[in-house]
Amino acid sequence: MPQPTAPLAEFIRTYEQAANSHDITQLVPLIAPDAVYWFSDGSHRGRKAILSAIAYTFATIHDEIYQIDDLEWIVHSDDHAVCRYRFTWTGTIDGRPRSGSGRGTNVLVNNAGTWQMLHEHLSACDGSTDPQGLTITSSSPGVRELG
């Protein structure tokens, strides 16, 4: 028998795959029109602003791989769900390998039978570093900052 959160976990995996495609059009139907995302570089309100921030990341971090792990559903119903997780990313910035990790919290809403991101809050884990020892103060798939 499927778990009640199976469709939600499937949505998160679809979102992860869309982010890894680096094709912004794959993310469009997964983000609610009135969504709000909080990244380390600031807040982005509305699908258009969010997609712009993500497109900037895609242009900045080449060959990026984004991975969600330790997914935990805090609340879920037929209409809303809240999850938290850990994420990692690897990629190339200015020809140099980079990576980072952090924590995420997402609020999903069921719009006419389709799950969409209503809110995403990503933050770096304390002391996250890349292979060169640079501190990562960033989030993915939104804009990442290297400190």
- Looking up residue 11, the CATH number of its domain turns out to be 3.10.450.50
**CA separation for the pair 80, 63 (Å, rounded):** 33
49 class by beta-carbon count within 10 Å (0-12 exposed, 13-18 middle, 19+ buried):
middle
Domain contains 141: no
Domain contains 1: no
Alpha-helical (H) ranges within 22-111 are 24-27, 47-60
> How many structural domains is the chain composed of?
1
Domain contains 145: no
Domain contains 131: no
Domain contains 133: no
Host domain of residue 53: 6-124
Residue pair 71/55 in contact (Cβ under 8 Å)? The answer is: no
* Residue 139 confidence (pLDDT): 43
Q: Is the pLDDT of residue 131 over 80?
A: no
Residue pLDDT, tens place only, 74-97:
999 999 999 999 999 999 999 999
**CA separation for the pair 75, 108 (Å, rounded):** 10
Q: What is the pTM of this model?
A: 0.83
Domain contains 138: no
